[in-house]
Amino acid sequence: MTLPQTGTLRLPARVHFGYGTRAQLPELLALHGTRVLAVVDPFLTGTEIFGEVLASLRAAGLEVSVYSDIKPELPVASLDVAGEFARSFAPDVVLAVGGGSALDAAKLVGLLAAHGGPLSRYYGENAVPGPIVPIVAVPTTAGTGSEVTPVAVISDPERELKVGISSPYLIPVAAVVDPEFTFGAPASVTAFSGIDALVHLVESYTAAPLALDWTGTVPVFTGRNLFSELIALQGIRQLGTWLPIAVAEPDNRRAREEVAFGSLLGGMSFGPTGTHLSHALQYPLGALSKTPHGLGTGLMLPYVLDAFRGDPEFDERLEAIGAALGGDAVDTIVAINASIGVPATLAEIGITRDQLPRIAELALASARLIAISPVPATSELLLAILDNALIGTLSGRTAA
Separation of alpha carbons 260 and 202, rounded Å: 17
Separation of alpha carbons 149 and 271, rounded Å: 5
3-state secondary structure of 341: coil
DSSP label of 215: T
From the list 226, 320, 331, the residue with the least C-alpha distance to 273 is 226
Cβ(149)–Cβ(271) below 8 Å: yes
**According to the model, what pLDDT value does residue 5 have?**
80
Report residue 394: phi and psi, to 5°.
-125, 115
Check residue 34 and give left, alpha or beta (phi > 0: left; psi -120 to 50: alpha). Answer: alpha
**According to the model, what pLDDT value does residue 399 have?**
62
Element (H, E) at 379: helix 379-391
- Sheet architecture: strand order including 14-17: 14-17, 174-177, 135-139, 93-98, 35-40, 63-67
Separation of alpha carbons 181 and 172, rounded Å: 18
pLDDT truncated to tens, each residue of the chain (400 aa)? 465 588 999 999 999 999 999 999 999 999 999 999 999 999 999 999 999 999 999 999 999 999 999 998 899 999 999 999 999 999 999 999 999 999 999 999 999 999 999 999 999 999 999 999 999 999 999 999 999 999 999 988 888 778 899 999 999 999 999 999 999 999 999 999 999 999 999 999 999 999 899 998 999 999 999 998 889 999 999 999 999 999 999 999 999 999 999 999 999 999 999 999 999 999 999 999 999 999 999 999 999 999 999 999 999 999 999 999 999 999 999 999 999 999 999 999 999 999 999 999 999 999 989 999 999 999 999 999 999 999 999 985 666 5
Separation of alpha carbons 232 and 45, rounded Å: 34
3-state secondary structure of 357: helix
From the list 87, 162, 86, 96, the residue with the least C-alpha distance to 123 is 162
3-state secondary structure of 369: helix
**According to the model, what pLDDT value does residue 1 have?**
42
**According to the model, what pLDDT value does residue 400 have?**
56
From the list 57, 113, 278, 260, the residue with the least C-alpha distance to 176 is 260
Which residues of the chain does CATH 1.20.1090.10 include?
Answer: 187-398
Structure pTM?
A: 0.96
**According to the model, what pLDDT value does residue 2 have?**
61
Is the domain spanning 21-177 CATH 3.40.50.1970? The answer is yes
**97 forms bridges with which residues in the sheet?**
40, 138
DSSP label of 156: -
Q: Which CATH class is domain 187-398?
A: mainly alpha
